[in-house]
Amino acid sequence: MRISPKPVEIGPNDGFTANNDIFGYEEFGKRLGNLMRNIDHPATILLDGPWGSGKSVFAQQWAGQCRNEGAKVIYFDAFKNDFHSDAFMAITSQIINIVQKEDIGTKTEQKSLISKSVQLGKELLPIAAKIGTRAATFGLLDTEIFEGAGEAIDATTKEVGKQFEEAFEKKLREKLTNAQTEEKTVIGFREQLETIAAKARTASKQEGGEDNQGWPLIFIIDELDRCKPSFALEVIENIKHLFAVDNVCFLIVTNTTHLEDAISGLYGLKAHKSSYLNKFYDQHFKLPEQKNTYNSVEKYCDFIWRQMEFPDDERDQIYSAKNTLKTVSCGLSLSIRDVSKVVGNLSILALSGPENNIHNLSVYMAILKLKNHDLYEKIKTKTVDLHIIITSLNINNWNETERVKEYHQDFWSFIYGAELIDERRREHFDWHHPFYSEESFHDTCTTLDSLSAFP
């Protein structure tokens, strides 16, 4: 059993399937694909979504869908790669890798791209260092001016001023002299990348059939909001200034609020952080809100239960608890994010005590703690009548069979020692009764009250 869901495994060519499309994003993925395939100019699209919305799962599914239609796609987990000191080389290495793997362009063109990448990489300062200095000087001074001044700083106090001035003047002269050379190097790199990208579109046309207009080279950057702020900003600045060429499209998958906070923290642009970020993308899309239909919530309950590795024995009270989770989550219109919180805290209940902490009553209490805190407190302190519970849960209006609705009314009647609608259920509830003891109930509520994931 786990305290967080096991990562969803999406193969590079899986795309959207009935089993893995737990968030129901396939239709949105098709529309995004239609848009991308019609873009032949430089484009950067920001795909925004909150925590738990399934951004990374969507990104991997969409990558697979595009590959299956002939596109050349790079999926780059920025968080796993933010140990790099140079975002330019991190991005370029991904492009070179797919160019060689997919044999895009001629061998001469591939070698030229590598050569020009190395040449540009040598001339570019590490952007992370540049960002640090720009932030410290409010963007007024460029670190290139200061490169080479390190030895001056280590000199004796008497000589510092003179040596620093000499190093400053030397580097300034070099910067002015080399500016044109650097510009030519950048232009050469961009031209070669554009040539390769055009070949990628041609190759995708051939793989996609006669009616296929081809695809641009697609570069998906995921988890940017989780990176070190310096690396995240270095990535988007590189995209804008060095990789924006025809037939290369970037999809940045992120939580915009967190990315803006990174900008604010690094540059001190509290009032203008959104405006600054806006400069680096062409379109801003929001991942569609999940449709919390009965089927989608029920499907997600099954999925998250498996991902948390709960036991799934039909004879076990935990299996009964899973069915209660599905029924009550649908009946009370929980969102997928709500279900994730509830299941995560049920896992902590099980791992911090005996597994028999997971049962119908603990599921109810975990849900009510989140969705109806007032009722939760009253049940916990036994200051609420049975009919108030039944009415508050609105069981009679659940989209369930009469048999299921009566079962849940009888469950609460049993807990309160009242007459059941169907007395034949009493034997079933009696079997579960040890799990509903005062001690077990107290342990459940004590643990739930200590979890900060709930309000």
The 3-state DSSP class for residue 122 equals helix
Helices (H), 19-156: 26-37, 55-68, 87-101, 107-123, 127-136, 150-153
From the list 398, 410, 404, 408, the residue with the least C-alpha distance to 297 is 398
Q: Report the amino acid identity of residue 205.
A: K
DSSP letters spanning 141-176: S-GGGTTT-HHHHTS-HHHHHHHHHHHHHHHHHHHH
Token look-up 């997971």 returns: 358
Chain centroid to CA 14: how far?
Answer: 18
Q: Report the alpha-carbon distance of residue 408 to residue 199 in Å, rounded.
A: 62
From the list 394, 384, 334, the residue with the least C-alpha distance to 363 is 334
pTM assigned to the model: 0.75
DSSP secondary structure code for residue 22 in this structure: T
Q: Compute the C-alpha angle 82/86/92, nearest 5°.
A: 95
pLDDT in tens, 251-277: 999 999 888 888 787 777 666 778 888
- In this predicted structure, what is the pLDDT of residue 137? 33
Q: Report the alpha-carbon distance of residue 178 to residue 41 in Å, rounded.
A: 30
Which residues, given as ranges, of the chain have pLDDT below 70? Answer: 125-169, 171-178, 208-211, 269-271, 290-294, 313-315, 354-356, 452-455
Q: Report the alpha-carbon distance of residue 46 to residue 221 in Å, rounded.
A: 10
Q: Report the alpha-carbon distance of residue 355 to residue 281 in Å, rounded.
A: 49
From the list 266, 215, 214, 200, the residue with the least C-alpha distance to 237 is 266
- In this predicted structure, what is the pLDDT of residue 13? 96
Per-residue b or e along 76-92, where b marks 16 or more CB atoms closer than 10 Å to that residue's CB: bbbbebbebebbbbbbb
DSSP letters spanning 38-56: T--S-EEEEEE--TTS-HH
Q: Report the alpha-carbon distance of residue 292 to residue 22 in Å, rounded.
A: 11
The 3-state DSSP class for residue 330 equals helix
From the list 237, 190, 219, the residue with the least C-alpha distance to 87 is 237
pLDDT in tens, 298-340: 888 998 998 898 877 666 788 889 999 999 999 998 888 789 8
444 CB-side CA count, 13 A: 28
- In this predicted structure, what is the pLDDT of residue 356? 67
Q: What is the 3-state secondary structure (H, E, C) of 395-431?
A: HHHCCCCHHHHHHHHHHHHHHCCCCCCCHHHHHHHHH
26-137+190-286 classified as CATH 3.40.50.620? no
Domain residue ranges of the chain, discontinuous segments joined by +: 26-137+190-286, 294-450
Distances (CA, A) of 242 to 91, 228, 237, 245, 346: 10, 21, 8, 8, 48
